Structure 1
């Protein structure tokens, strides 16, 4: 379990992390989401003792990271896939890690196989690795000591679609076996597929947290696309209930939740052929909550 309490990090008058508190539970993947510069990496660096907090503290399994003996056996970390000696081979990097943690060299072969780096690739020097290969090696290093906690910063960077799917399955399986995963990313749609819990951060502050259902239930309204065998009859039934309805292609766009629309259709014996949310879901919610932190103008019709 990871527990963050009242964490603050200031650089002069600038607060990179501003009094945040949250926890990550065993058996769950927690997505740590925010725009670039939101404070994600600073928070994770504090977790593993690379940055000193101004206030507050972090414990992993009830201990500060620097108090954990042989921490690689308990906490797997990937903050920067390129932060290894560029002249060493992938196998050498893992072998040094295994020796440092007191692990048998057979563990190196197990991890190389797990992340699909073959014998030829493992003997290349890091400087000749693609970003995707560096990420796979970094994940192998994080898992080397069979830790109970994983802290990963943007692990999907550089991975192709097959690699992203592989990583998704790997981390989900790890959590299913009781591991604790904190996964940082600015790619909300990708994390949405794997995370059990999500923490949204902007300008160093937590702006929302919870599972997908609870986050979306806090949205001001929902918009739904729906098509019926008799759209005119459905339109009348919905407007009679006070819902705003507009035509959208061969169907309707309604300012209501799918559940509300389904209930109206059932009450009036109307057959629906399509019913789905028209909202951008968590992405729209996230952009709304962090709108003052976005670098780009996301307003409708903004000119390039």
Structure 2
């Protein structure tokens, strides 16, 4: 396992086409090879892999959206006086979506003249492209807004549910939208009829979510083990119960990692440990067995054969699985 020590907290750990990339709270982007790009005048707040797979795109508290590759950083967009709070990219269409304040913006890195800005009544907390890269879900207070990425003048489709929604994701088949919420629960909607799905019972904060096993499972943190929701069939999790793997009453899962096309599941705990297992909890591998600061970044590569993690103290690692 490769290990790293950074002087700033890690905001995100990602894999581009050539290896692991870490985005830092001091505005830097550091590649697995050791190359470093000074991307922002301030902290990196969010990051995603570029649609091409070459490098990563970051949003910072300097109001810039920056594409960093090995040896080069390019500003793609700006939001003067604003923080870039959330970002996502769509390899299928090459588009990038990001949020600042109450605005969702869409840009095309291949066309410097293209930009769409969509306004919301409340702050946008998360953004996610659908599997085809044509629609965007934006989480906000009261639910999620769905926008067509390239249409300038439009009214969004509103998925409504009371409360503060802090992040959003589409199921890999586009049939469901799921949000994380401020009050330790998930909420979902079935797209064909906008039927609500309440998914609660968590003792802690749900900081992220990921789909695994060809979209048949939704993987989440926020409990003493990794929580798995069944998403097979047209009903998704409706009328079905979640299961839990890797239960440890002495700790809480901070973050999870999974890939839709693979079955491996990873957990980063609030005591600094990291483990990987299959969805049945078999073959649990302690990637980082020593306790430390809480895990704040966790991701698989595209084939789920490598795992990158980082903790709150700037300690990070890359493990071959």
TM-score (norm 1): 0.29
Higher share in helix: 1
TM-score (norm 2): 0.28
If you compute each CA radius of gyration, which structure gives the higher value, 1 or 2? 1
Higher share in strand: 2
**Larger RCO (alpha carbons 8 Å, 6+ apart):** 1
